[in-house]
Amino acid sequence: MKSVQAHVRNTNTAGVLALLLVLGACSTTATTGGETPDAGDQASSSSSGGGGASSSSSSSSGGASMAFPAVPVDALHIQPRDGSAFLVTAIGAATASVDLASYILTDNSVEQALGNAVGRGVTVRVMLDPDQTVNNSARTYLMGRGVQVRSGPAGFTNFHQKTVMVDAARAYIMTLNPSASAFTSNREYAVLVTRAAEVTELKTLFDADWAGQTNPRVDSNLMVSPNNSRLRLITLINRATTKLLVQVETFSDEGMRSLLKQKLDAGVDVRILMAHPTDVDQNAADALTLRNRGFPVRFLRAPTMHAKMVVVDGALAYVGSINFTRPSMDQNREIGVLLDDAPTAAALDTQAEADWAAGVVN
């Protein structure tokens, strides 16, 4: 297995205060194969909180609205069914720019597509987590092809975002790192977003992180950690009335446990599918904690569970890089979307039910 190094940078009390506020709100409102699990997502819920960059989640969330903050999606890709062709093709169609942000980049076909784009005169920027030595080969290859490569900015526990933006007009928001395992042996999802509000804001975030600037305010319907992802997930979960299917690589956050427990006690069919403990060893203990609260929990052995996805009542969904852990919601740079597109939600629900049926209890 390739090693992924855990590294915790700046922490402060902002994340702790944010979590206390969330827990109060909850009480009043109804590994990737070929990689070790994403670092920082493995910290326990008792670890100290911390903000990303210089903005706390309470001061930079933005986009607050009583309406459900859905983002229209133009396409859904499910892995390992669809492979890397969708991403390679999108990069190959770029005429002006490609901006890729990822925790890990090891897939040769994606790397070659990025290098080829530079050869066509396209400006290509790649931003990776600074602490993953597995990225060294990609850095060397890409820089040799003229790709601009930088590390994600200091101030986040992990740079865990997984997005590809083409010509500042089309954006793939993904659960996957572009790695060979993501396209061949992992359960992963990617959605294509083209609405200007979200694509423009994603570029603003990328540009700020690229320049090492202060974490920008989020005003579109994007889910962004550490800005608003916890609050957006709460909004989604609170919509559940009949069924709530959760697929996550890791789940250690007490606020999310408490909120889902309220739904479970209210009669909602809540089921949680996680990565198998052979892939993420902490999941044995975290699953036991959830089962002791009354949750049905299973593990997916094949394909390897690396997705972060929630389907509510077969009609609403979340897809993105955010796990149900405090670092993922409150300390990392992460991106996700909530969606209410009926065909996409139905496809995600169908896949989640099939994966649940294939899941194991130990």
Domain boundary residue among 165, 183, 211? 211
pLDDT at position 16 over 60? no
Alpha helices in the chain (DSSP H): 14-28, 57-60, 85-92, 108-119, 136-144, 180-184, 196-211, 229-237, 254-265, 283-292, 326-330, 342-358
**Residue 13 belongs to some domain of the structure:** no
pLDDT at position 47 over 70? no
By mean pLDDT, which of 6-15, 194-203, 233-242, 283-292 is the weakest?
A: 6-15
Average pLDDT over residues 41-67: 40
- Together in a domain, 273 and 341: yes
pLDDT at position 110 over 60? yes
- Together in a domain, 205 and 235: no
- Together in a domain, 205 and 79: yes
Domain boundary residue among 211, 242, 273? 211
Instruction: State the pLDDT confidence band at 66, using cuts at 50, 70 and 90.
Output: low
Question: Percent of the chain scored above 90 by pLDDT?
Answer: 81
pLDDT at position 345 over 80? yes
pLDDT tens digits along 286-301? 999 999 999 999 999 9
> How many whole angstroms separate alpha carbon 30 and alpha carbon 304?
33
- Together in a domain, 91 and 199: yes
Locate tokens 């608003």: which residue? 228
Q: What is the pLDDT of residue 67?
A: 86
pLDDT at position 28 over 90? no
By mean pLDDT, which of 34-48, 114-128, 251-265 is the weakest?
A: 34-48
By mean pLDDT, which of 47-56, 68-77, 197-206, 331-340 is the weakest?
A: 47-56
The 3-class SS string of 25-63 reads HHHHCCCCCCECCCCCCCCCCCCCCCCCCCCCHHHHCCC
Q: What is the pLDDT of residue 180?
A: 87
**Residue 18 belongs to some domain of the structure:** no
Neighbours of 144 (CB within 10 A): 9
pLDDT tens digits along 267-282? 999 999 999 999 999 9
pLDDT at position 214 over 50? yes
pLDDT at position 6 over 60? no
> How many whole angstroms separate alpha carbon 257 and alpha carbon 251?
8
Q: What is the pLDDT of residue 71?
A: 96
Domain boundary residue among 176, 211, 246? 211
Q: Are 307 and 325 in contact (CB under 8 A)?
A: no
**Residue 4 belongs to some domain of the structure:** no
- Together in a domain, 167 and 248: no
Average pLDDT over residues 168-190: 97
**Residue 347 belongs to some domain of the structure:** yes
Q: What is the pLDDT of residue 38?
A: 52
Locate tokens 């915790």: which residue? 8
Selected residue with higher pLDDT from 19 and 238: 238
Q: What is the pLDDT of residue 109?
A: 98
- Together in a domain, 350 and 291: yes
Residue span of the structural domain in which 290 resides: 26-71+222-358
Neighbours of 50 (CB within 10 A): 25
Average pLDDT over residues 316-331: 98
pLDDT at position 330 over 50? yes
Q: What is the pLDDT of residue 218?
A: 95
**Residue 216 belongs to some domain of the structure:** no
**Residue 268 belongs to some domain of the structure:** yes
pLDDT at position 94 over 60? yes
Instruction: State the pLDDT confidence band at 40, using cuts at 50, 70 and 90.
Output: very low
Quick one: how many helices (H) and strands (E) in the chain?
A: 12, 15
> How many whole angstroms separate alpha carbon 77 and alpha carbon 290?
30
Q: What is the pLDDT of residue 4?
A: 36
164 half-sphere exposure, CB direction, 13 A CA radius: 28
Q: Are 316 and 309 in contact (CB under 8 A)?
A: no
Q: What is the pLDDT of residue 112?
A: 98
Q: CB-based contacts of 80: which residues, under 8 Å, 6+ apart?
A: 183, 184, 185, 186, 187, 188, 303
Instruction: State the pLDDT confidence band at 2, using cuts at 50, 70 and 90.
Output: very low
- Together in a domain, 296 and 261: yes
- Together in a domain, 141 and 84: yes
- Together in a domain, 102 and 38: no
- For the chain, how many structural domains are there in total? 2
pLDDT at position 35 over 90? no
Q: CB-based contacts of 154: which residues, under 8 Å, 6+ apart?
A: 9, 10, 212
Q: What is the pLDDT of residue 44?
A: 38
By mean pLDDT, which of 28-32, 188-192, 279-283, 330-334 is the weakest?
A: 28-32
Q: What is the pLDDT of residue 131?
A: 95
**Residue 7 belongs to some domain of the structure:** no
- Together in a domain, 92 and 189: yes
- Together in a domain, 92 and 126: yes
Q: Are 218 and 323 in contact (CB under 8 A)?
A: no
- Together in a domain, 305 and 226: yes
Instruction: State the pLDDT confidence band at 7, using cuts at 50, 70 and 90.
Output: very low
CATH number at residue 48: 3.30.870.10
pLDDT at position 134 over 90? yes
Cβ burial of 360 (10 Å; 0-12, 13-18, 19+) is exposed
**Residue 1 belongs to some domain of the structure:** no
Average pLDDT over all residues of the chain = 87
